[in-house]
Amino acid sequence: MPKTYKTAVVGATGAVGLEMIKMLENRNFPVESIKLLASSKSAGKKLKFKGKDITVETLTKDSGKGIDIALYSAGATVSKEFAPHFAADGCFVIDNSSAWRMDKNIPLVVPEVNPQALSKDKKIIANPNCSTIQMVVALKPLHDEAKIKRVIVSTYQSVSGAGQKGINELTNQAKAWAKGEKIPQNSTFQAQIAFNVIPHIDVFTDNGYTKEEMKMTNETKKIMGDESIEVSAACIRVPVFRSHSENVWIETQKPLPPKRAIELLSAADGIKVIDLPKYPLPLEAQNEQIVYVGRVRQDISKPDGNALTFWVVSDNLLKGAALNAVEIAEELIKII
């Protein structure tokens, strides 16, 4: 009989937590029992799992006792406080926050890229940033073939990257505009997001980049296992509800013709290439469990053939968060 696992979702009522519950069900993860955990203000709510109502419980330091695997999406502060207690009780924690990503002792995992980083001795596992995940899935087969030297990426990130409050802010502003009413003041984003573009995600650092942009730089090097890759990111918020889009430019050590790059991407796990005259769109990527790549072309300013540009789109709540976490769990149960 296949083994089953006592599972928990922490931050179960949030945008990503809800998707984690769906992914566990949709992918038929071998759940023996499920515990849904959140803050005390959400305790008592009922959420569905496989047709049954599950009551949300208050997260405590003892909530991990008897749990095999916990998926966390409750923010870095909560993860720092509670994940070590879960781990001490023998539970594997797959954490979606930024709390542990750059800790050298914590695996930072995208299953299509570095599943070998998982270990039965590492109880806490970090789920990377949403924008990093979809990019490295596309980078991996190209790096294996031609060794990537440099990456320049501009992201166009949906409001759901800021959680339900980001979705609500765009909804309310768009509704007000459509009715001819005064658009509500922004509270989640730095400016009005409806019909606008904001080149600012997270806080600025001393070097002029934002924390979101530095996450992409540092996480890419760690996941790819290559500190020599140079990465520069510009992260931009756009008025799209779901799915992040990225324009990625890479420079490689060896020439990599677009035709060969398309062959490699098409053969890689977790990727679907959409060739011209079509191209991936964020609206079409919603609720899809895959990374889409399109508009693969040689950089005409680099006639040596050592540079490519391409477009990457994926659902940030799924592959960028909940799906990747469940896929990590799927890899983990192969070795524990």
Residue entry with tokens 């996480």: 219
DSSP code at position 235:
E
DSSP code at position 186:
P
Dihedral sign (CA 212, 213, 218, 223):
positive
Residue type, 206: D
Residue spans of alpha helices (H) in 225-290 = 258-267, 282-285
Q: How many helices (H) and strands (E) does the chain have?
A: 8, 14
Which DSSP string corresponds to 206-218? TTS-BHHHHHHHH
| Distance between CA atoms of residues 157 and 36, nearest Å | 28
| Distance between CA atoms of residues 110 and 206, nearest Å | 29
CA 2 to chain centre: 29
In this structure, what token pair is assigned to residue 107? 């695996």
Q: Is the N-terminal amide bond of 277 cis, ω within 30° of 0?
A: yes
Beta-ladder partners of 307: 251
Which are the catalytic amino acids?
Answer: 130, 244
User: How many other C-beta atoms lie within 10 A of the C-beta of residue 205?
Assistant: 11
E strand or H helix at 220: helix 211-224
Q: What angle is formed at CA 9 by the lines to CA 126 and CA 11, rounded to 5 degrees?
A: 85
DSSP code at position 195:
T
| Distance between CA atoms of residues 289 and 243, nearest Å | 11
Beta-ladder partners of 150: 230, 251
Beta-ladder partners of 151: 231, 250
